[in-house]
Amino acid sequence: MRWEGGDALQVIECIACEEPRSQETDLWGDAQFLRANEERATPVWLALFLSTEKEGLFVESPTERVWMYLILILYLAVWTDSAHSVSSLLWRIHPMRSAKLPPMRQSLTLVLLILVICLSLVVTGCATSTSATSSTPTTQKPLISTDAHGTPITIPAKAPQRIVSLTPGDSEMLAAVGVSARVVGVDAFTNYPADMAAKPKVSGSDGSPNVEQIIALNPDLVLSWGQFTTQADTALLQAHINVIALPVADLQGTLTEIRLVGQLTHSSATADALVKSLQQRIDTVKLKVASAQPVSVYMEVGFTPPPPYAVGGGSFENDVLTDAGGRNIFAAQTDNGGYPSVSVESIIAANPQVIILTEEPAYGGDPQQVYTRPGWANIAAITSRRVYNINPDIVSRPGPRLVDALEQVAKMLHPDLFA
């Protein structure tokens, strides 16, 4: 605020600073010193009248001066909000020299000054109160605009309290962002973490969701993945249930989906912190293998019954292989959603240096069985005894544990770099 009138128009700009100052320097004096700290000032405006005879305040008695200092401190303390810590508060003052005032006029001026300060406090308080009560959360823009079905994604206005997960990947993401307690149902294949595995199952052993059971749970958010549950998703949408089918994504896209789940469940802080940590681990692996010669890899999805299925291009497992310093021998094949069927002859001809099995032992995921497969004896991975298996859950589910898979695969491909 600025008061102008009469002969009291000469403005002296002063800035109160945190710099140590001598006892002889008055609080409002030494304008040159204060101007030198102009850019460090925080604009808090207060008009103080100075007499023409004194460099101090116009009040004459020590009592009046003490009261003025107390009023000023109170004003500044109340004005300070959460964006300004008391320790770093700087203020700017525009005092004006007034004409010499008789004692009665000075007293009247003091009273008026106090009234103006009190009025400004009331106005500031009212403005703050109005702002606090009238502010409403702005609509948050989702990190992914549409889901796997092409439906626009909208962030719920309120945090969902009854969530259903239709895939193990969804379940692991929900647990990772800290909302397990709000999940009321999961699919039959969810087995991690333990608290999610113990939730009521809403699908059959074949993975087909039980729509009636899900509706009975009265969910306010249902998460699915890809287009594996399209029929159930459609039925739930027709029942006016909020269904979000997370799109099929690569490794980097999975991190984005974790953050999206954080948005959908109003737990963005946890999700963002998790993704930051996961990204750091990914970057660490990539940095270590950056100068290493890529190792040719055959990553097997299934071998029994034939034909064999492999990890191909376009899958997040392919990204894991690449980021771990590997070269997928079937990266050029993107059939079947990135999991093409291949021939035994093509595997032998590619002569991979490393073989990684991602299936259960009953379906061929036993390294000892691979060493005895007919015609495979001369494959480099067989002769060097570099056949490994990895937990299929961590490498085949989009979720935080994909980074665990990345670290394990990197050690398989470049054991010397991770010794």
Give yes or no for residue 66 having a pLDDT over 80.
Answer: no
Average pLDDT rounded to a whole number, residues 97-119: 49
Q: What is the pLDDT of residue 222?
A: 98
Do both 100 and 21 map to the same domain? yes
Give yes or no for residue 57 having a pLDDT over 70.
Answer: no
Which is higher by pLDDT, 354 or 76? 354
Do both 30 and 126 map to the same domain? yes
Among the residue ranges 74-78, 203-207, 311-315, 341-345, the one predicted with the least confidence is 74-78
Domain CATH code at residue 389: 3.40.50.1980
Give yes or no for residue 154 having a pLDDT over 70.
Answer: yes
Do both 198 and 125 map to the same domain? no
Q: What is the rounded distance in angstroms from the CA atom of residue 244 to the CA atom of residue 236? A: 11
Which is higher by pLDDT, 338 or 364? 338
Average per-residue pLDDT for the chain: 78
Do both 98 and 178 map to the same domain? no
Do both 363 and 409 map to the same domain? yes
Do both 98 and 188 map to the same domain? no
Q: Is residue 149 part of a domain?
A: no
Q: What is the pLDDT of residue 363?
A: 82
Do both 188 and 77 map to the same domain? no
Q: What is the pLDDT of residue 31?
A: 42
Average pLDDT rounded to a whole number, residues 254-280: 97
Domain count within the chain: 3
Q: What is the pLDDT of residue 335?
A: 94
Q: What is the pLDDT of residue 364?
A: 83
Which is higher by pLDDT, 233 or 98? 233
Q: Is residue 282 part of a domain?
A: no
Do both 202 and 315 map to the same domain? no
Average pLDDT rounded to a whole number, residues 152-181: 97
Give yes or no for residue 278 having a pLDDT over 90.
Answer: yes
> In which residue are the tokens 């953050």 written?
259
Among candidate residues 242, 276, 310, the one where a domain is terminated: 276
Q: What is the pLDDT of residue 74?
A: 45
Q: Is residue 18 part of a domain?
A: yes
Q: Is residue 283 part of a domain?
A: no
Q: Is residue 79 part of a domain?
A: yes
Which is higher by pLDDT, 56 or 190? 190
Most confident of 49-53, 57-61, 107-111, 305-309: 305-309
Average pLDDT rounded to a whole number, residues 378-401: 95
Give yes or no for residue 263 having a pLDDT over 60.
Answer: yes
Q: Is residue 143 part of a domain?
A: no
Among candidate residues 213, 246, 276, the one where a domain is terminated: 276
Q: What is the pLDDT of residue 8?
A: 36
Q: What is the pLDDT of residue 1?
A: 38
Do both 110 and 228 map to the same domain? no
Average pLDDT rounded to a whole number, residues 138-149: 87
Give yes or no for residue 172 having a pLDDT over 60.
Answer: yes
Average pLDDT rounded to a whole number, residues 1-30: 40
Give yes or no for residue 361 having a pLDDT over 50.
Answer: yes
Q: What is the pLDDT of residue 157?
A: 95
Do both 297 and 414 map to the same domain? yes
The predicted-structure confidence for 241-255, as pLDDT tens digits, reads as follows: 999 999 988 889 999
**Long-range interactions of 33-37: CB distance < 8 A, separation 24+:** 37/90
Q: Is residue 374 part of a domain?
A: yes
Q: What percent of the chain has pLDDT over 70?
A: 67
Q: What is the pLDDT of residue 107?
A: 52
Tokens (6 digits) for 192? 């991690």
Give yes or no for residue 24 having a pLDDT over 80.
Answer: no
Which is higher by pLDDT, 280 or 83? 280
Do both 128 and 171 map to the same domain? no
Range of the domain at 27: 14-134
Do both 354 and 236 map to the same domain? no
Q: What is the pLDDT of residue 45?
A: 37
Q: Is 85 left (phi over 0), alpha (psi -120 to 50) or beta?
A: beta
Among the residue ranges 227-241, 264-278, 342-356, the one predicted with the least confidence is 227-241
Q: What is the residue type of 80? A: T
Which is higher by pLDDT, 325 or 39? 325
Among the residue ranges 12-21, 369-378, 383-392, the one predicted with the least confidence is 12-21
Q: Is residue 7 part of a domain?
A: no
